[in-house]
Structure 1
């Protein structure tokens, strides 16, 4: 791979992640509730060009997820947080969801149709800490969709960043 391309894309992904982190921090600081609020690590869909870019977007999503979890745990809010990775990286997102006043009984999000503990690609497995995260897989017309959430632990009842019912 061309070193100039790699350097340019690393700088691009760093800028995009910083922008998303600022947006995430602002929402965490100002919002009392979330209704499937999310950020897109690859808003413009640039990761479709190269597999290394795909990994960069997934890694960025995981870092944003980690930040959200730490922030929510620190201020004791009951919020689900997870990352979704799609075949088209433009659809990737890091989500926050809580009980909210929108009148829908959709909290907690159930992750219907996902198979937990299924085989995942090696590039994704290499990015994950399997002790901390679990991955759900759902097939779509475009390909596999991956949901990444924190594993349930014996301390889950005291954790405030809930990731939905264990499957």
Structure 2
């Protein structure tokens, strides 16, 4: 495997992206599964330390997104999706009613709600603050993380 050069600059830029993320919300805005990938190139795939740093950044971005949406008057859903097998797919999502489709609220019927997280990053997710669910797919496990304060959940479990 080729050595990852420029790590310090890479992570400085990653955290700069998280800390300067802004939605510039307008009352007419809507989101149709808007999402942000922080490890777009999948650099965390072969290195646990790098993978964990990206998950920390996704949690920080999610918290920042929740803060930015506080004054937003439309109903919305937000969540973090972490793909165990492919970190390039990890993302923070925002979804609202939108003119593209009548798919709000987004519900995933098959979500498992046991709070199970992989040992490799279970200490990064505060289970007092977040609800965790997962979905087993043909591609591996997908973990869905939502704030316990999020009024509109992804699954059908009574919270």
State the TM-score, normalized to the length of structure 2.
Answer: 0.82
Query: In the alignment, which residue of structure 2 is the partner of 1:9?
Result: 7
The answer as to whether partners of 2:18 and 2:60 remain within 8 angstroms in 1 is no
Q: Does 1:106 align with 2:93?
A: no
**Which of 96, 116, 120 pairs up with 1:123?**
120
Query: In the alignment, which residue of structure 2 is the partner of 1:159?
Result: none
The Cα shift of 1:99 comes to 0.5
RMSD (CA atoms): 2.5
Structure 1 distance, partners of 2:114, 2:7, is: 32
The Cα shift of 1:35 comes to 0.2
Structure 1 distance, partners of 2:8, 2:77, is: 30
Q: Could you list the runs of 5+ residues in structure 1 that have no partner in the other structure? A: 157-161
**Count, aligned residues:** 153
Q: Does 1:83 align with 2:80?
A: yes
**Which of 62, 69, 73 pairs up with 1:72?**
69
The answer as to whether partners of 2:33 and 2:94 remain within 8 angstroms in 1 is yes
Structure 1 distance, partners of 2:140, 2:154, is: 24
State the TM-score, normalized to the length of structure 1.
Answer: 0.79
Q: Could you list the runs of 5+ residues in structure 2 that have no partner in the other structure? A: none
C-alpha deviations, 1:66-102, integer Å up to 9, x for none?
0011111134442211010112001111000000111
Structure 2 distance, partners of 1:115, 1:61, is: 21
The answer as to whether partners of 1:117 and 1:134 remain within 8 angstroms in 2 is no
